[in-house]
């Protein structure tokens, strides 16, 4: 059945509660921490050897689409009415946004140790112990805007700069790809000396705390962020109907530095063995409102 993912700012009070309750139920069974672990296990970067599937690679979008679908199905086994909402960070861009309310994801971390103290995922609530992490501390942490080294959420212009890219991805298909929608939206700085992070990466940095690294799934806002990233991918395809929907079409050849390091269109994505191609069109599974 095709379900609808909504903008989080349009959720009713009861929809927010159902989403939060389903997330907490998935956490109670231990399943949530398996999602965290999977993301940590697939946090392979350019500097690491071997295949990159989830990040710094063309399959960044299809891998996270499959990951979100699996999570959404876990939520729906708890409550079939729940879908993953999306957070349009070009619009809801302040710590005062309803997203961060005590009735939804809770607010910023406190200054001393970045611990989130409001909402259902606050440590004191007792339902959200961080177990799979790359940092110390078993409480959820946030540090909005990173005041010691301030960063803003990406705006409409920055997102538009990625959306107007005419090709999906470009050689060398990693964090240094100088052109292509994938790297512009994933958001790695490609010019020497540029320490700015763009779009998707900048949102992780703005939330900060657990959202910073491999363990970012520990913050439930991860899913709302990636649902919007997924929506942007969907919009990019609508805007560029004649562009190849995914590149590379075939695996890099002998002598290519990216051989066996990135997935081509008809290869399968671990850990699911889902073909990249199977994730190109979401419309038979879900739609965006
Ligand atoms: Cu990720
Ligand atoms: Cu991400």
State percent of the chain over pLDDT 70: 100
Q: Which residues are bridge partners to 286 per DSSP?
A: 3
Looking at residue 193, its pLDDT comes to 85
Give distance in angstroms: CA of 254 to centre of ligand 2. 31
CATH number of 3-288: 1.10.1280.10
Give distance in angstroms: CA of 171 to centre of ligand 1. 21
Locus of tokens 């959202």 = 211
Looking at residue 232, its pLDDT comes to 98
Locus of tokens 């060398």 = 172
Give distance in angstroms: CA of 201 to centre of ligand 2. 6
Give distance in angstroms: CA of 213 to centre of ligand 1. 9
Counting ligands in written order, the one closest to the CA of 200 is 2
- Structure tokens belonging to residue 232: 């942007």
Looking at residue 175, its pLDDT comes to 95
Secondary structure (DSSP) of 95-148: TTSGGGSTTTT--PBPTTT-BB-SSTTSGGGSS----S-SSS-SS-B--TT-TT
Locus of tokens 């971390």 = 109
What would the pLDDT profile of 226-236 be if each residue is shown by its tens digit? 999 999 999 99
Looking at residue 281, its pLDDT comes to 96
Cα–Cα distances in Å, from 163 out to 160, 229, 232? 5, 11, 8
Coil, strand, or helix at residue 4? strand
Distance CA 30, CA 40 (A): 16
Looking at residue 245, its pLDDT comes to 97
Please say whether the beta carbons of 219 and 205 come within 8 A.
Answer: no
Task: Please report which helix (H) or strand (E) contains residue 67, including its range.
Answer: helix 60-78
- Structure tokens belonging to residue 74: 């876990």
Give distance in angstroms: CA of 117 to centre of ligand 2. 23
Counting ligands in written order, the one closest to the CA of 64 is 1
Which residues of the chain, if any, have pLDDT below 50? none
Domain spans, the chain: 3-288
Coil, strand, or helix at residue 3? strand
Give distance in angstroms: CA of 92 to centre of ligand 2. 18
Counting ligands in written order, the one closest to the CA of 186 is 2
Give distance in angstroms: CA of 256 to centre of ligand 1. 25
Locus of tokens 């070009």 = 90
Instruction: Please state the pTM of the whole predicted model.
Output: 0.97
């Amino acid at each position: 059945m095709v379900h609808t993912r909504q903008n989080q700012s349009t959720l009713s009070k009861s929809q927010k509660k159902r989403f939060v309750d389903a997330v907490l139920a998935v956490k109670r069974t231990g399943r949530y921490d398996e999602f965290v672990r999977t993301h940590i296990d697939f946090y392979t970067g350019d500097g690491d050897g071997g295949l990159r599937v989830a990040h710094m690679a063309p399959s960044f979008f299809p891998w996270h689409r499959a990951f979100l679908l699996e999570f959404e199905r876990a939520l729906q086994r708890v409550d079939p009415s729940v879908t993953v909402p999306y957070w349009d960070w070009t619009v809801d861009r302040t710590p005062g946004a309803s997203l961060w309310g005590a009735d939804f994801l809770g607010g910023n971390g406190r200054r001393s140790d970045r611990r989130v103290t409001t909402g259902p995922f606050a440590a004191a609530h007792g339902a959200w112990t961080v177990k799979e992490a790359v940092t110390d501390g078993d409480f959820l942490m946030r540090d909005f805007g990173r005041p010691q080294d301030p960063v803003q959420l990406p705006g409409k212009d920055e997102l538009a700069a990625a959306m107007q890219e005419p090709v999906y991805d470009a050689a060398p298909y990693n964090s240094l790809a100088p052109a292509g929608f994938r790297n512009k939206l994933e958001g790695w700085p490609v010019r020497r000396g540029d320490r700015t992070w763009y779009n998707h990466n900048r949102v992780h940095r703005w939330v900060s705390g657990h959202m910073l690294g491999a363990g970012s799934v520990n913050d439930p806002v991860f899913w709302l962020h990636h649902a919007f990233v997924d929506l942007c991918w969907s919009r990019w395809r609508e805007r560029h109907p004649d562009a190849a929907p995914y590149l590379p079409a075939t695996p890099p050849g002998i002598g290519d530095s990216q051989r066996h390091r990135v997935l081509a269109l008809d290869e399968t994505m671990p850990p699911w063995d889902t073909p990249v191609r199977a994730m190109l069109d979401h419309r038979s599974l879900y739609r965006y409102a």
